[in-house]
Chains A and B, each alone.
Chain A
Amino acid sequence: MSAPFAKLPRWADYGLIPLINLFVAFIVAGLVVMLVGENPFRAAMILVEGAFGRGQNIAYTLYYATNFIFTGLAVAVAFHAGLFNIGGEGQAYIAGLGVAFVALSLDTVLPWYLTFPIAIVAAAGFGALWALIPAYLQAKRDSHVVITTIMFNYIAGSLMVYMLVDVIKPLGSMAPQTRPFEAGAQLPKLNWIIELFGAKIRSAPLNLSFILALIMAYLVWLLIWRTKLGYEIRTLGFSSKAARYAGISESRIIIITMLISGALAGMMALNPTMGDQHNVSLDFVSQAGFVGIAVALMGRSHPAGIIPAAILFGALYQGGAELAFEMPNISRDMIVIIQGLVILFAGALEHMFRPTIQTLFASLSPRSVGLAAAKKEGA
């Protein structure tokens, strides 16, 4: 008999373990804060205040979280097929081009509620297209998607510099960005939702894309766990041999999954462009594609985990900015270190505490592990 594979109850799997990981990450981050001579508890207070203290801050946190929900879902969908799409950054960036085309040509013609759906299709389409080439290379030529998507991030970066500097930039402008979008390509803000709870908000970028992100989270759940395609994606993700045996075409699933993943990453472009800046500028993605990897890892590739994980990272972004402002010893780079620690513990070392917790659970309440019955009846 091999060592049995204990399964934790869902609440421990999706709730307790991430919390423990997060807690350890903050302890280590606290040590770093102590090293630079600041009080870690005050730093934590400022961070939390900065992220959730006032309506204004909450709106900012949710604005950042919107980006991470999209990119986190993109990574998660690919994960389910056993693919590691690191190209969310580039896919979102290129999708900005699609948004720019739609916004620049329609913003004076159509109202926002007609521009928006077209822009969604364009962003998703451009993102998917940028994922298609690595997907094709993986499916047909066996070129590893991790390598190709990373490389495509750089190509996307250079291409966007060229487009923004030499093609789209209005004549006479010094800034590498498009002309400002008119009202027909500006998404309504959602700050009023937070104001419903009594908070006052001067101006914050939270906008309709947040709702789109939540809808996408639901659709991803539906796709992965309720459709035949999702079943095939998961089969391939667990075992390519089983997929072949089940008559599932590996190359077909790889290409479809990467298209969906690229489309989700692409939709992230809507939030900062049409939702906030009202233009497409250089580096508007600002690492959201990479944060999406950590979000997907921490959210265990499940939308119900991805949304809180995205909000956590949104809080780190927003609260971190406040922290850098309030504590001069803590620079912007320190915030990146803290975020890195969270990624390290919540993502990469996700399984570090799992065996201990499993043993703990098994000894405390065998029933909850759902194993005793299985073994007894199945012997």
Chain B
Amino acid sequence: MAELAIALSGINKSFGPVHANRDINLEVQRGTIHGIIGENGAGKSTLMSILYGFYQADSGEIRVNGKPVSIKTPNDAIAAGIGMVHQHFMLVENFTVLENIILGAEGEPLLNKSIAKARSELARLEREYGLEVDPDALIEELPVGLQQRVEILKALYRGADILILDEPTGVLTPAEADHLFRILKQLKEQGKTVILITHKLREIMAITDNVSVMRQGTMVATRETKGTTVEELAELMVGRRVLLRVQKGEANPGEVKLSVRNLTVRDSRKVTMVDDVSFDIRAGEIVGIAGVAGNGQSELIEAIAGTRRAVSGTVMLDGKPIDVTGTADPGELRDRGLAHVPEDRHHVGLVLAFEEAENSILGYQDKPQYLNGPFLNLKAIEDDARAKIQAYDIRPTNPHLRTANFSGGNQQKIVLAREIEQDPGVLVVGQPTRGVDVGAIEFIHKRLIAMRDAGKAVLVISVELDEIRSLSDRILVMFAGRIVGERGPEATEGELGLLMAGVEHKEAAE
């Protein structure tokens, strides 16, 4: 079987009591793009970390190009011809492309020679694979798509024959993702092997030759991509049938609940992140804001929810102003019926070290029903938490367990339950399903639509275009801090993608 680039057999890995990989067998044929798909926590990253030498398997065998190898460190992996492009780039921001590429592979104390060598090598790689990037540009000045290209070049420079990409499209616009896929196809044609880890079914269908599905630490199936369907893969991932697109009826928009006018927000470096933004949200509708991460969506909802100061502009809640440039306080806004599910549940929406029950009152700790004078009413808090655990199917069901021990999807449910059950008139949600498994996504979407149908105004931002399209009654697209377009839910992905990349915006400006 010489044409197998990677053959894993019987891989087991436990972290203490958690059996993260259980008897994994995987065969990746040389010169193919092989997708590995699974929910968060299914063990994909663990498996790849074993292959790349971050962890060592408790048992099992790794064969690369037919030969058994022992991979103890990433250096062993590189020596075996395996390269990895991480989800979060491992680049030094204030180094040039060239400096980053030779980092760790300098070869000798003086850099002149190795830089010259790298420069010519880079030119060759560019020619062969169409990976153009200016070798002297500083990383921090490059857009994300190009930074990723540098990561790929880094791997190729080290002689990688087998390239592992971990969730590579999470930070890319649709256009950038398409470009990445073209590069990957080119690499394949040149005989390289690509392993693509993702949870996006569409990408698997678009680019891979074969796909392996993981669930709860086991490899449940390997399929030829041509011979499978999105529905089958989703079912394999979750272990039951899932609705990929939530069912919802017509929206019945009522009066304006939240009105944003000329809102401008700067970040801590005084860079304008939200630039003169205006829009309205009505009762009974979901408005989605699409955009590539970093185009001001986060700052926009933070300003509306009172966790970040705006520079200028007005926001009206139920016809009365919120002092967004001055004293707006999340506590005050909650009292006025504006609830906020923040993007970053680990540091903002939850205190991970707290018990689940303690988190289920975060932000509502002033409510009299949770207090006995200056003391917490522990009984009431626990009863309340148990009711939410029941209603939102939060697991495990123990309200005294530390929140850090809950999975991403259940943590998000804790936040949602807390905010929704206070019955707010306006719900602002950042990344409702980031890092949430497929089964919980369906649940969360249904809840948001139920909010809408109960006559609440819902504002959603998400980097997942699919999510925006399936949830929203109206879609606003943000680019470079401005709202560059409004579309209905029937807008195509291509159309939104162009807006998100600022194409129409630039043309209008010229």
Chain A interface residues toward B at CB < 8 A: 1-7, 226-229, 231-232, 234-235, 238-239, 241-242, 244-248, 358-359, 362-363, 366, 369-375, 377-379
Are A379's CB and B375's CB within 8 A? no
Nearest Cβ in chain B — how far from A224, in angstroms? 11
* Most B Cβ at <10 Å: residue of A2, A6, A7, A247: A247
Are B350's CB and A242's CB within 8 A? yes
Q: Which residue of A lies closest to B410 (CB)?
A: A378
Are B18's CB and A372's CB within 8 A? yes
Are B407's CB and A379's CB within 8 A? yes
A336 to B27, CA, bound (A): 63
Are B16's CB and A371's CB within 8 A? yes
Q: Which residue of A lies closest to B216 (CB)?
A: A379
A338 to B151, CA, bound (A): 51
The listed residue (B39, B340, B362, B396) touching A374 by CB distance below 8 A is B396
Of B205-213, B351-359, B445-453, the stretch lying at the interface with chain A is B351-359
Q: Given A4-B15, A359-B16, A363-B16, is A229 in contact with B374 using a C-beta cutoff of 8 Å?
A: yes
Q: Which 6 A-B pairs have the closest CB atoms?
A: A247-B331, A362-B16, A366-B17, A378-B407, A372-B17, A374-B405
Are A371's CB and B18's CB within 8 A? yes
A3 to B15, CA, bound (A): 7
* B15 partner residues in chain A, CB cutoff 8 A: 1, 3-4
Nearest Cβ in chain B — how far from A369, in angstroms? 6
A370 to B371, CA, bound (A): 29
* Most B Cβ at <10 Å: residue of A4, A5, A373, A374: A374
* B347 partner residues in chain A, CB cutoff 8 A: 239, 241-242
Q: How large is the interface on B (under 10, 10 to 19, 20 to 34, 35 or more residues)?
A: 35 or more
The listed residue (B16, B353, B396, B397) touching A4 by CB distance below 8 A is B16
Any chain A CB within 8 A of the CB of B288? no
A141 to B340, CA, bound (A): 29
A358 to B40, CA, bound (A): 24
Any chain A CB within 8 A of the CB of B45? yes
A197 to B347, CA, bound (A): 52
Nearest Cβ in chain A — how far from B450, in angstroms? 23
* B43 partner residues in chain A, CB cutoff 8 A: 1
Known contacts A369-B16, A378-B396, A379-B407, then 10 further A-B pairs from the complex at CB < 8 Å, ordered by chain A residue: A4-B15, A234-B354, A235-B362, A245-B348, A366-B16, A374-B396, A374-B405, A375-B405, A378-B395, A379-B216
Q: Given A242-B347, A245-B342, A378-B410, is A369 in contact with B17 using a C-beta cutoff of 8 Å?
A: yes
Are A247's CB and B405's CB within 8 A? no
Are A228's CB and B374's CB within 8 A? yes
Q: Which residue of B lies closest to A231 (CB)?
A: B365
B 1-54 contacts with A by CB, 8 A = 15-18, 20, 39-41, 43, 45-46
B 398-448 contacts with A by CB, 8 A = 401-402, 404-407, 409-410, 437
* A241 partner residues in chain B, CB cutoff 8 A: 307, 344, 347-348
B 351-399 contacts with A by CB, 8 A = 351-354, 358, 362-363, 365-366, 371, 374-376, 378, 395-397
